[in-house]
Amino acid sequence: AVGAGGLTAAAGCIGGGGGDDGETITIGSDIPYAPFEYRNEAGDLIGFDVEIAEAVFGEQLDLNYEFQETSFDGIIASLNNANFRVIMSAMTINESRAERVDFSDPYFTAYQTVLVLEDSDITSREDLRGESVGVQRGTTGEAAAEDLQEEFDGELQIESYDQINGAFDALLNNQVSAVINDNTVSASFAAENDGVVFLEGDGVAADRDDAPPYLTLTIEEYGIAFRQDDDDFRGEVNDALQAIRDDGTYEEIYSEYFDG
Ligand code: ARG
């Protein structure tokens, strides 16, 4: 078996662990996307998805597994080309994707939110008209930006980057005025960078108890994606997801990354 958290010999494959016999389940993921999948200073792959994968594939299903780094744009095509068995990449469940993959039951709620620089003069959603926003290519953040662009009759410039860090860097360097991205990922970036703040305002999630206290453009749920001929395995994974909720493992991992 591949040691948990260790490096495997195969290029591009990281982490993994689990049982001793049978095939190795490969998990396609775009890295870094902290706090879901990223490396610590020692270079180990860590994150919420990484620990949920260990609990589900390693502990519950007793499988060998490893993460395989891949670009997010095209990740579904890559799954369907059998480059890996599943996608676990903070991926939002939506209808257009569900035409090409099957999703597990939801395992995390997220919201599209807007980051700006504290000293900018953008203080409301309407202030984004005529501005530029950075997004990660192929994401629901990009789709939310396109919806906003339509709402502004085209008066929004969208800059798409292969990885979210490209959009974050562009914000810090004043190459874009805002970044539209998943709330917890943007929150961890804002926490590490002075002067980066969420755009405030009443959003689509404003009346939800658990909504973040700033502008929300969408409400989304993450799922693990499978090829459409992989129903038995998808069922086993759903059972395992339920089991880690029932035995407290999910809550333990959740509070490690999100409560405090
Ligand atoms: N939740 C968003 C989506 O599904 C962004 C996911 C990006 N994930 C990543 N690992 N880079 O489009």
Mean local confidence (pLDDT), 207-230: 95
What span, in angstroms and rounded, lies between the C-alpha atoms of 197 and 179? 10
- What was the pLDDT predicted at 54? 98
What does the DSSP 8-state code read for residue 59?
I
Of the candidate CATH numbers 3.40.50.10860, 3.30.1660.40, 3.40.190.10, 3.80.10.10, the domain formed by 13-107+223-258 belongs to 3.40.190.10
Other C-beta atoms closer than 10 Å to the C-beta of 139 total: 25
- What was the pLDDT predicted at 1? 31
Question: Does ligand 1 have an atom closer than 6 angstroms to the CB of 91?
Answer: yes
Mean local confidence (pLDDT), 27-44: 97
Query: What ranges do the domains of the chain cover?
Result: 13-107+223-258, 109-220
Annotate 150-218 with DSSP letters as a single string.
HHTTT--EEEEESSHHHHHHHHHTTSSSEEEEEHHHHHHHHHHSTTEEEPPS--TTTTSTT--SS-EEE
Ligand 1 centroid–CA 150 distance in Å is 22
Q: What is the ipTM of this complex?
A: 0.98
What span, in angstroms and rounded, lies between the C-alpha atoms of 115 and 181? 8
Mean local confidence (pLDDT), 164-182: 98
Over pLDDT 90: what percentage of the chain? 87
Mean local confidence (pLDDT), 205-223: 93
Over pLDDT 70: what percentage of the chain? 92
Question: Does ligand 1 have an atom closer than 6 angstroms to the CB of 49?
Answer: no
Ligand 1 centroid–CA 20 distance in Å is 31
Burial (CB count within 10 angstroms: exposed 0-12, middle 13-18, buried 19+), residue 179: buried
Reported as a single tens digit per residue, the pLDDT across 142-159 is 999 999 999 999 999 999
Phi, psi torsion values for 5, nearest 5 degrees: 80, -10
Closest ligand 1 atom, CA of 222? 1
Ligand 1 centroid–CA 76 distance in Å is 12
Give CA separation, 130 vs 122, 160, 207, in Å. Answer: 11, 17, 29
Reported as a single tens digit per residue, the pLDDT across 59-93 is 999 999 999 999 999 999 999 999 999 999 999 99
Reported as a single tens digit per residue, the pLDDT across 234-243 is 999 999 999 9
- CATH homologous superfamily, domain 109-220: Periplasmic binding protein-like II (3.40.190.10)
Q: How far apart are the first and last CA of the chain?
A: 34
pLDDT band at residue 210 using 50, 70 and 90 as cut-offs? confident
| pLDDT above 80 for 221 | yes
- What was the pLDDT predicted at 15? 58
Question: Does ligand 1 have an atom closer than 6 angstroms to the CB of 30?
Answer: yes
Closest ligand 1 atom, CA of 139? 12
Identical fold between 13-107+223-258 and 109-220: yes
Ligand 1 centroid–CA 159 distance in Å is 16
